[in-house]
């Protein structure tokens, strides 16, 4: 196992993590921004108003993107299993 292989594996793991978390983070960010603008315009400072829509949208985006995320995770896991022979030598 070379240093270059370990760096490639780490980079692949980080990219996979970013790809898996991106849909939920982006939708949560967009909803949080919209709720923040709504709160600024109406001057409503209710703390639950920020969390409930974000939680709902993140759950819905998780359900929508779950098959795509499983495909990405399966591809990463398959590449790890295929490189076991390189890791053990």
What does the pLDDT read at residue 32?
Answer: 92
Mean pLDDT value across residues 36-43: 91
Close Cβ partners of 63 (under 8 Å, ≥ 6 residues apart) = none
| 53 within 8 A of 31, measured Cβ to Cβ | yes
- Measured in whole angstroms, the distance separating CA 35 from the mean position of its chain's CA atoms is 21
Mean pLDDT value across residues 30-51: 89
pLDDT beyond 80 at 89: no
pLDDT beyond 90 at 31: yes
Mean pLDDT value across residues 62-71: 96
The more confidently predicted of residues 14 and 44 is: 14
């Amino acid at each position: 196992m070379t240093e270059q292989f370990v760096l490639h594996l780490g980079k692949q793991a980080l990219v996979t993590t970013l790809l898996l978390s991106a849909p939920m983070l982006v939708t949560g960010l967009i909803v949080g921004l919209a709720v923040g603008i709504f709160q600024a315009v109406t001057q409503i400072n209710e703390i639950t108003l920020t969390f409930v829509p974000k939680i709902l949208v993140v759950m819905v985006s998780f359900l929508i993107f779950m098959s795509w995320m499983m495909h990405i995770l399966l591809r990463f896991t398959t590449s790890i299993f295929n490189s076991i022979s390189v890791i053990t030598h």
